[in-house]
Structure 1
Amino acid sequence: MEYGKSKAATKEMLTHWAQIYGVQLTDLPKDTVEVYQEIKGAPNSTGSFGAVGTPINITQNYAAKDMKIQYYMDRNSLWHNSNFYCSNGKGGERDLSFGGKINQGTVWENGLNLAGTFNFLYRGRNIEDVTLNVTLYCKLSDAFMLQWQTENFNAIIKAYEEAYKKFLEEQARLDAEQKEKEAEAKISKELSTDTWSMMC
């Protein structure tokens, strides 16, 4: 089987051809899952603090496509502004720095493709404490879907080849029967012609 053919085979196409050839497609897990992680920290720092990491395990066979970060943090010292940076899921950082006593809200990151374990990082300056509620919105991964498509495409091709072989066998049988009938008809015609000429 060629790579390109199975990749082009959509779920709808595979379902259509599976019904025609009587193939039971392997079950797919649900299309989407959410992975939630609460992260709490108390840097209690008027100065800078380095990156703090929290590993977030993404469900096997899924990839995170979007991330929602709900955050709450407050300043340690009112004399200085606070800086806060966290992972944006794309290898960079989201700046959530602020000048008031507290900072809270929700931000979204879209267009992600995270799989396996995602190490969520945050760092900052002049932060008393922080709470981050991270939700990853995941879909079945491209790699898993390609594997599923290939497996089911191959099953349909096998069923097609078996059906085609039976068709050729049936066609050969019908051709043989037709030739036999034609031969019998020819013999019958010759016999009736011979009988007729003897009678004349």
Structure 2
Amino acid sequence: MLDVPIPKDMVHPMLMSVSYMAKYSTANDHLPCVVWSNILLAKIESEEPEDGIITDITTHPNDINVMPQTSEGATAVCLLSVLGIKANNLENHWNHFIDCQHIPLNVHIVQSSRLYLQVRILEHPTMAMFHSLLMDVSATWLDDQEGRCLLQKRQEARMRADDTEAKAVNEENARKAAETQQAADEQAKTEAEVKQHVAEAQSAADARA
């Protein structure tokens, strides 16, 4: 199983094509085998998914099955499946099976997705058999401009909402500060009037005395 990197700097990237090469070589084999190549798109719900997918493919005891173990929270869709037959070599020399494909696609990738090249080999191995498997995969992507514009608009709307909320909070704090200051001023004025009345009363008492 090879993980095909999905661009992180694109918003909802479009998978336009996949190119891969799978080369399976054996020596000392006497029976043909089946080489099964799949392009799988897995939807992972967690941000950091475990290395696993769920498929409806059954596993044979003699399979060379290069795929992660099953884990919860992941489902896979097979975008492409290529089936090939590898012949044997009765002279016990190395013989090779090469599967090269360039597949045009138009697939919209959502967040938390994983793309894989899976190779399954069904054969009847022996103790004297040697194996070699080489895999290479690449993909072409197209940025979703509409999705990027929509995401930008959402971010701008969120920023405006945050600014409005911050402005309202500042205005409320300023209003409370003004009310507190006004209450303090009124209290100071009242205390000054009381002191003035006490002073006037004392002056009048002194005058009478």
Q: TM-score, normalised by structure 1?
A: 0.41
Q: TM-score, normalised by structure 2?
A: 0.40
Bigger RCO (CA 8 Å, 6+ sep): 2
Work out which of the two has the higher radius of gyration on C-alpha atoms and give 1 or 2.
2
Task: Decide which structure has greater helix share.
Answer: 1
